[in-house]
Structure formats: C-alpha cells, structure tokens
Structure 1
Amino acid sequence: MNDWRRAIRTPISYSVPGSSSNLIRQQTNFVSFVILSGALVLLILYAFMPPNNNDTMQALNDEHGHWHEKLVACDCLSYISQGHDNNLFVLNRTYPMTSIETMSDGRLRYRIAVVADLDKKSKSMSRPNTYLSYMLNGVLIFDPHSQTVEVNFEPKEIELSSEFSSGGRGMELSELVVFNGKLYTCDDRTGIVFEIRNSLLLPWIILPNGNGQSTGKGFKCEWMTVKDDHLYVGSLGKEWTSPNGDKIYNYDPQYVKRISAFGHVEHLDWRLRYIELRRAAGIEAPGYLVHEAAVWSKERKQWYFLPRRASHQLYDDSLDEKRGTNILLVANDNFTTINKTVSIGPLIKTHGFSSLKLLPLPDEVKLSPLGSEIAIAIKSEEDNEAIATYIMIFRLPDGHILLPETKISSKHKYEGIEFV
C-alpha cells in the first residue's frame, strides 16, 4: 500500500531523446499554467461584457452615490455617458412631475408651486447658522376651449432651510424648475443649485460667477429654463456696477450656465446677446435691462424674456425699485432676430417680472389661434418696506390677458414659479 501511494504522488518522468541529462517534470507546472491563463482570460472577458439588467438598473438609480428606490415611468432618453465607465444613464423628460388631470368637463388641472427669496430676512432668528425660505403649493385649472383659468394656493407654507451661506446670507431662492424628473431651485447668494425633495433641500452643484475661472464667488442666478436636454441658468444680464452706476466692475452677470443632467457646467458668454435684447427694447447704454424671467419655448423654438427693470438712464440703486416693466422680448434660437412685440398688462413701476413658465399641454389639446402658448408669470413688488407677490396669466404671442395681476402674498416675496 505504501508503494502504491508513493507511485501516485510521484510525478511522471519524461525522458527527452538525445539528452540523457535533462529530465522534465512538467505535469504539475503545465496544469497550473493552463488554469491561471484561463482564469485571466475569463476576467478580461467579464470586464468588457455589457451590463446585465441588474447592473443597468443600478446605473440608472445610483446616480449621485445614493440609491433611489424606484425609477418612475417617464419620457426618457437613454445614452452612454462618456467618462462614466460606459454606464447607461437615463435623462427623465417627464414634465410636469405629476400628471395633468383632465376633469369631467374637459378642463385641465395642474399642480404648481412658488418659492420665496427673502433677501436679508432669510436668516433664522431662532436657529443659529440657519437660513430659511418658503414654498407654496397650489392648483391651476385651465379651460382650453374658453381659455379661462383659476388659481388657488394652499394656506400653509412649506419651510425650507439650509446652513449654506456666503457673506452671512443664504437661501435667497430666486427660481424653480423641473429638470431630469427633479425639482430644482437656485440660491442667488451662494450659487448653489438645490434639489427640493418634499421639504428637504439637497445641494446638487455650485455655480461659480462669470466664466468660472476668475472668481470664487457664487453665481447670482435669477432665471432657469430647460432647452435641448440641458438646464440653462441665467443672471441679471446687466453689467455689475457701483450703486450709482458710474463704474463697471465686471460682466459676470452676463454669463449663462448650461448644465447637463450629470452636472457638467459650461459657462456661456451672453454679453452680446444681452446687448441685443436691450437694443430691441429701444435702450442704449448707459441705459439697461435687468432680467429675472426668461423661458425657452420648445414648441416655437424661441426665447421669451420679460425684463424686471428697464431704464434709459444710468443705473441707480435707489431708483431701480421703481423701474418695473411690461415689456415682452422674443428672440430666435441664436438671437439673430429679436422683437419687442406687445405689452403684457398695464405698466406698474414698482412691479417687476421675476419668473416665467409656459403651460404644458397634452398632445391632443390645440389652442386658438393656432400656435398660441399660455404663459404664467410672477411679478414682485419691492417699494421701500412694502413687499408683495402677484401672479398673472396671458397668451403668447399676442399678450391677451387671461388672469390679470392677482396678489398671492403680502408676507413673502416669491420669485420662482413652476408646474410640478
């Protein structure tokens, strides 16, 4: 038995002809080499295999390093993200986030929301290092046949808070927008774009001022819109000057940020475009326009601008509050054609446009006149200590008023509106 075991454990010896001195004991080494080579080949093949369904769902959901519970049904664009290990990502084009309800009488019911910019009053008096804003939910009902509209807001505000600040100020939220299936807002002090999830604010990206390379200051974001699957964030559109306008410090507010769904930011120099908008309004330097309400029309492939302030004179901080406008400017995609079309409602010097959105319509609903769009806008009033917020709804491009200026708050200055 011992001899039999010894025979099994002893490797087979091979005699190589012509070399009596070289005996090759290679069975064990050869088998080991084959096993290791095979394992290496399998690892390489596995690394380059396309993801299976579980991998794909994780790539779709694990977007920011945290897991989303589910992927909602949406009008989605799928594509391979360059620089992200070839993972499959989805851009959620669903808008608004909640379904448009068709009522029994044919009217359309929408959920809307507005968000507040409290300026210096945003700092909490009871919680240290905390800054506050408020969101107000509401319902808009639109009759596409008679083109009549009703708007009602809930009595209770939703408090939003954050500890992010710059220079002792923060949470001065200037706009609302739905992008990639999420609700975003932007703080015009820190330049932080937040996702609003219920009453929780989740910082997404920080927008630097100007070209993104000349200063560490946050971007003074004022308007937001979605164009070609990107989020566009704009500022005042006016040169940054001294309080009496006699000195230009920089052109940072004339940049626009173009943001992908992955958070990649491009810094677009719109200085010439803002100059052309000003000229279309019949104003030359040192006169100016201040922009806080702009939207891209996907249907008509054009831009709508409702300037908040307009003046033929030099900028003056103390007089600016009484330079409100009712101007509508319409530009084509590349701003080669810009028109000052109609006036939107009566001119009230202390009221200025601060947000603008277009009513999303189901495909089967067609408006008259053909090609018309319905716009919903916020106007803010800042007259010394008096603060108020108004909503108005009108038809584009003729400016026909469906809902004249209607006060929705004399407590807070709401500056952003969106269909949610």
Structure 2
Amino acid sequence: MSLNADIQRLERYDETTDTYTLAIITDEDHAAQVELEDGQIAWQSTLRYDLLHREVDATGRVRYRLEEIPPERGGEHRLVSLIAEGGRGAEFSELVMFGKRLVTFDDRTGLVCEIRNENQLVPRQILMTGSGDERFKGFKSEWATLWGDRLIVGSHGKTAPEEWVKILDRNYGLASVDWHERYQLMREALGVGERGYVIHEAAEWHPYRREWLFFPRKVSSEPFDLAIDERERGNHRLVIANEDFSLVRTLPIGECVPERGISSFKLVPGHPDECIGLKSVEIGERTESYLFCFNLEGEVLQEDTFIGDYKCEGVEIL
C-alpha cells in the first residue's frame, strides 16, 4: 500500500540527512509589476535556492546553518506571470512539495501554479474567496500544507471569507470548507478576546503526531491599526491542535521580536520534530526577511538569520 503524500514528504530523507536544499519565494506586492522586452506588462517574483546544514556537536546539541547559493551558481531565478487582478499579480505566499511537484500560490489572484524547470509557472487552479460563490475575487492564499493525499490551502483568518479553506486533491479537484470554528478556537487559545485579531500565514499538518501546527504572524488583543500592527504585533507562539481541534494549546518559541512575524514554516524530512521557518518585516516601504529553525519542544536551533531586504513568504525543502 502506498503512503499518503504527507508521510512521503517527511520520508524523502532519513535521520542521516544533514544537508538540505531550500526553495524560498518572494511576495513583492506592488514592486512585482514589470515591463517585458516586448512591451508587455507582467508580474514577477524571485525564487531563490539555499543550502541548509544540520550540525550536531559533541554534546548532542543540534544547530542549523544557512549557506546561500550565489545567483551566478543558480541560486536565484525569476518567475513571470501574465495573470493579475486589479493590476497586481505574482504575489506568491507559500511553497509546498505536492508529491514531486513544487506548488506555489498567488495571494492576489488565487492562482495555484506548479513551478517547473526552476522558472516556469504552470497554472493548475484558481481559488476564489470565501466559499467560492460569493464574489469574483481571488482567494488570499497565505498558508498550505499536506493532509493525507490532499493539499489544504488557507487564508489569514481575520475576516469571515478568509476563514474558509480550500482542499485540493492530486488532480487539483477543489472543495471549499468553512473553518470558522477552528480559527475561533485558535483565537481563544491565544487569548485575544473579542476586540483582538490573529493573522495566519504559516501552518503544517504533522502526520506522525496527528496534530495541526499554526504559527500566526500577528497576534493582538486590540483592534487592527496598521501602523501599530506593522511594528508591534509580531508573534512567537506556536499553536498546536489535535486533529479535530478539540484540544488546542500554545508553545512559545524563542523571544518575540515585535516587528517580525512568521510567514512560512516546514517540518524537516528525516527530523520531523524540527522545523525551518521564515520571518518577515513589513513597515511602510521597508521589507526584510529572516530564516530561523526550531524544534517542537520550543528550542531555537538557529537564530534569526537575515536573508534579504525583500519579503519572502514561502519556504520548502526540495
């Protein structure tokens, strides 16, 4: 009997693996629009590759170390999309290995694309906001994870249409499910109250532990205020829920840096209780991205490591 895709993903490498290739994708918002050589307007994103080394010292302590691959050695590629909504496109917010396919999600248009040959985008589905029947508006995809043989895609959960999730099968067949109760249970676990909010951009299903792991980017017990949100609402608490969300708890990971919030994280194949993650800063025109690593006991395995002055919102292990 073949293994489900979520198990296969974690068993692509075993516990002896100590070097991984990362794919990291940018969401450059308004800066994504470009003019091609033929004069055509398009939208672009950067896909970069890096190496991640897992090192164990004489005491058994695990540390991770990032090694950047220079652009001239194939460490950076341009992805170009000709599809936009409201004059914006190619705002890719997540990366997931779905079987042997690297899949990304445009949080502006709702496009789901396979990435082939390092720089070719192949559209496979268009997700629409909410149930899909409400408005002609692309789904604001923010997080995605494998659950069995299905791909679960979610939004930030701040408003009712963004509490729906999209479920894609291996052939990109689509179902929409309202997750309002699950988002509400996570808000309650984080203690934000009726006036506050939680913004999600990172989640993983853990098939061995049968648990949902959500790492909110922003958490606030006060109403949304953009200037305050950008500088002060970064979060460092991981939300851990059992499969049906009947038990939800939180776990602090390292120290909170209020201007940094988690935009993506992944379980490490071969070491499934260890994770890599991205943190991003977005204050006015200033953007920064950092990579960090941690385990599910709450220990930081790599401190925040600066990777660029642009906003990276998706990471995956190839």
Q: Tell me the TM-score normalized by structure 1.
A: 0.70
Q: Distance in 2 between matches of 1:122 and 1:76?
A: 41
Comparing both chains, which one has the higher relative contact order based on Cα–Cα distances under 8 Å and sequence gaps of 6 or more? Answer: 2
Aligned partner of 1:15 in structure 2 is none
Aligned residues: 307
Distance 1:92 1:301 in 2: 11
Q: Distance in 1 between matches of 2:256 and 2:7?
A: 36
1:391 corresponds to? 291
Offset, 1:95: 2.9
Secondary structure at the residue paired with 1:215? coil
Is this contact kept in 2: 1:107–1:141, CA < 8 A? no
**Residue type at the aligned position of 1:152:** E
Alignment partner, residue 219 of structure 1 = 139
SS of the residue corresponding to residue 109 of structure 2 reads coil
Taking the aligned partners of 2:7 and 2:198, their CA distance within structure 1 comes to: 32
Equivalent in the alignment of 1:402: 301
Partner of 1:95: 9
Please state how far the C-alpha of 1:117 moved relative to its aligned partner: 0.1
CA distance in 1, matches of 2:79, 2:138: 20
User: Offset of 1:142 from its aligned partner?
Assistant: 1.5
The alpha-carbon distance between structure 1 residues 302 and 214, as it changes in their structure 2 partners (threshold 3 A), is same
Amino acid at match of 1:172: E
Query: Aligned pair in 2 of structure 1 residues 93, 261: CA closer, same or farther (>3 Å)?
Result: farther
| 8 Å contact kept, 1:93–1:179 | no
Judged with a 3 Å threshold, the aligned counterparts in structure 2 of structure 1 residues 275 and 392 are, in CA distance, closer, same or farther, namely same
- How far did residue 384 of structure 1 move? 2.1
Contact kept, 8 Å, 2:146 with 2:152, in 1: the verdict is yes
Identity %, equivalent residues = 35
Of 59, 65, 78, the residue aligned with 1:159 is 78
Q: Secondary structure at the match of 1:358?
A: strand
Instruction: For residue 158 of structure 2, give the secondary structure of its aligned residue in structure 1.
Output: coil
1:187 pairs with 106, 125, 141, which one?
Answer: 106
Question: Gaps (5+ residues) in structure 1?
Answer: 1-74, 79-90, 240-250, 362-366
1:147 and 2:57 aligned? no
Q: Which residue of 2 aligns with 1:292?
A: 201
RMSD: 2.1
Q: TM-score, normalised by structure 2?
A: 0.91
* Aligned residue among 302, 312, 316 for 1:414: 312
**1:130 Cα deviation (Å)?**
0.5
Q: The residue matched to 1:319 in structure 2 has which SS?
A: helix
SS at match of 2:139: coil
Change (3 A) 1:96 1:222: same
Counterpart for residue 21 of structure 2: 111
Question: Displacement of 1:333 after TM fit?
Answer: 0.4
- Cα distance in 2 for partners of 1:345, 1:77 equals 34
Change (3 A) 1:337 1:123: same
Q: Distance in 2 between matches of 1:227 and 1:153?
A: 31
The one-letter code of the counterpart of 1:392 is F
Contact kept? 1:101, 1:108, Cα under 8 Å: no
Separation in 2 of the partners of 1:96 and 1:107? 12
Partner residue, 1:197:
116
Q: Which runs of 4+ in 1 moved over 6 A?
A: none
Select the structure that is richer in strand: 2
**Equivalent pair of 2:6/2:146 in contact (CA under 8 Å):** no
Give, in angstroms, the shift of residue 153 of structure 1: 2.1
Report the Cα distance in structure 2 between the residues aligned to 1:324 and 1:149, rounded to whole angstroms.
23
Per-residue deviation, 1:148: 2.1
User: In the alignment, what sits opposite 1:244?
Assistant: none
Residue of structure 2 aligned with 1:207, choices 104, 123, 127: 127
**What residue in structure 1 maps to residue 164 of structure 2?**
255
Contact in 2 for aligned 1:95/1:181 (Cα 8 Å) = no
Unmatched runs of 5 consecutive residues or more in structure 2: none
The answer (yes or no) to whether the contact 2:6–2:149 under 8 Å persists in 1 is no
In the alignment, what sits opposite 2:88? 169
Deviation at 1:295, TM superposition (A): 0.6
- Given candidates 331, 348, 351, the residue that maps to 2:257 is 348
* Structure-1 separation of matches of 2:130 and 2:291: 31
Q: What's the offset of the Cα at 1:349? A: 1.2
**In structure 2, distance between residues paired with 1:139 and 1:223:** 23
Cα-to-partner distance string for 1:1-29 (whole Å, 9 max, x where unaligned): xxxxxxxxxxxxxxxxxxxxxxxxxxxxx
Determine whether 1:337 maps to 2:247: yes
